[in-house]
Chain A
Amino acid sequence: MPVDAKFWFDWIEASIRLATPLVLVAMGGVFAERSGVFNIGMEGMMLTGAFVAVTGSYYTDNVLLAAVTAMLAGGVLSLVHAYVTITRRANQIISGAAINLFALGLTNFLYRALLGSAGRKRVEGFPQWKIPVLGDIPVVGPLLFDQSVIAYVAYVAPLVFAWVLFRTTWGLNVRAVGEYPLAADTAGVSVPRVRYLSVFLSGMMAGLGGAALALGAVRYFTPGMTAGRGFIVLGAIIFGKWNPVPVALACLFFGAADAFQLRAQTFGFEIPHQFLLMLPYLLTIAAMVGFIGRTRQPESLGIPYDGQGSSA
């Protein structure tokens, strides 16, 4: 494959496509972590979202309905995480790990039960839509504005999430609860309420991210198809310092890495393809190693709130 204009074009186009699910998941993750709750269960919620979206699309042929159902499925799972970690104050990592196991088992089981006979039949996916005017700009138009509709959601989401986080009362509450829950509590903000909603949001966005993954390009479900993307998002959140827009750019970076490894495999490099497959994961570690020291995470992240401020 020659490195020409078409190569760059295809690569950037694929980067956007592959980053879309990551961006959506990451936006919810930022809110959960900003409120003080790790959600490593986003991997499982994303997988569940992917499965529900494909199943929904398979049975109804209605992509919007499928996406909404996927969000709800992710949301329901996140409520389990919220209950276990906020109400019961159990460890957040353990709860997330258990939810991931549950989601993997459940989607495997239901996949065979519900879609088994359908095999890998392609379902209705998110339609591609060329934005009028913008789509006609040379080069940039076809690259950025002739994408799947879900990609546009991923363009807008970081701006919306950043605005909510930094410019609204609700966003202030989320940040306050994550930094110093006792102070927020004293000021009359319900710590559990804010955390529940933030975690629920992360579950819904993870479900939507799963839908974006499954209905974006491949349009079918395979067991375990998220393959750690929900975990890569955790790295992107750190990389982007818990700020929606930089986090989205970090996701784009990981999407580009993913797109590169797919391309490089057909490229005839001397590197064995397994090493290329490792690339996104290694880059996540490298990004964390390279940028730590300049990041500061929400102060109460990972610590359950017991109403006495004795957690720190």
Chain B
Amino acid sequence: MIQLRGVSHRFGERQVLAGLDLTLTEAKVGVVGANGSGKSTFARMLNGLVLPTEGRVLVDGLDTAREGRAVRRRVGFVFTDPDAQIVMPTVAEDVALGLRGRGLSAAEVARRVGEVLERYGLADRADSPAHLLSGGQKQLLALCSVLVTEPAVLVADEPTTLLDLRNARHVVDLLRSLPQQVVLVSHALEALEDFERVLVLDAGRLVADGPPDSALTAYRDLVSS
């Protein structure tokens, strides 16, 4: 469960988020809003990458400001650009990187890496240079690198923006099928149509919150007004 209590955030003089009070218990939560609406800052707050200048963000009762390490072990994060997330030269090594320092045996690391690559269709690319993958495969790798750590929550900030339609659908279908709680920030409204809850942000404020049909209609009205 994710809770935001009186959360606001400022970058210098600019108010990025204001007065957010939310409790997210749904398994699939979408976030929409125009560029500069505060979506990415909101997403980063859930992982403790950005700390609120006012209020508190709690993930399963853990405060992102005081227990950041524990929060990051619980909340995985997928970025828009997978190239920024890939650190190791080969696919399997990059997936294994997130398991370093967790006290797992080499055999256990290999088992978990093999399992996640198999599940998401990258097993035959395990030893391939990561930088030579296609855009879609790189985003899958970024997803695998996060999921191998078995987070309770997955936050994805526009993970399909750089992908073609086929790969974008594949990634969204994967996110929908995950057992984890997923918070997906997206401009692709159709990707959120079967989510349980959608939040609409505008100029840092929550202007609509509810099931996709009403929230997305509110967003479309906002954009066209």
- A and B assemble together: no
Report which A residues bind B (CB closer than 8 A): none
